[in-house]
């Protein structure tokens, strides 16, 4: 039987809040820090399939870090 994680059934914002990283996540978005934003989403147990669309919809792409 598959185990359900601590964040099962929560929205992204709920996960970030409960995980204590919501302010840090939105700061990473504002600073266009792809790597940090990705790390924080992974910390709240989101999958790669969920993370990429979230980052993309917030204007973050992996290449942004390379050009900074």
Domain presence at residue 24? yes
pLDDT tens column, 20-51: 999 999 999 999 999 999 999 999 999 999 99
Q: In terms of Cα–Cα distance, which of 25, 27, 38, 26 is closest to 65?
A: 38
Confidence of residue 1 (pLDDT cuts 50, 70, 90): low
**d(Cα 38, Cα 51) in Å, to the nearest integer?**
7
Number of domains in the chain: 1
- Structural domain boundaries enclosing 27: 12-67
Model pTM? 0.85
Domain presence at residue 25? yes
Domain presence at residue 37? yes
């Amino acid at each position: 039987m598959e185990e359900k994680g601590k964040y099962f059934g929560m929205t992204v914002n709920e996960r970030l809040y409960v995980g204590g990283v919501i302010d840090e996540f939105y700061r990473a978005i504002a600073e266009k820090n792809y790597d940090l934003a990705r790390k924080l989403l992974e910390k709240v147990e989101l999958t790669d399939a969920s993370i990429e669309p979230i980052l993309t919809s917030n204007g973050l792409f992996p290449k942004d870090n390379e050009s900074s």
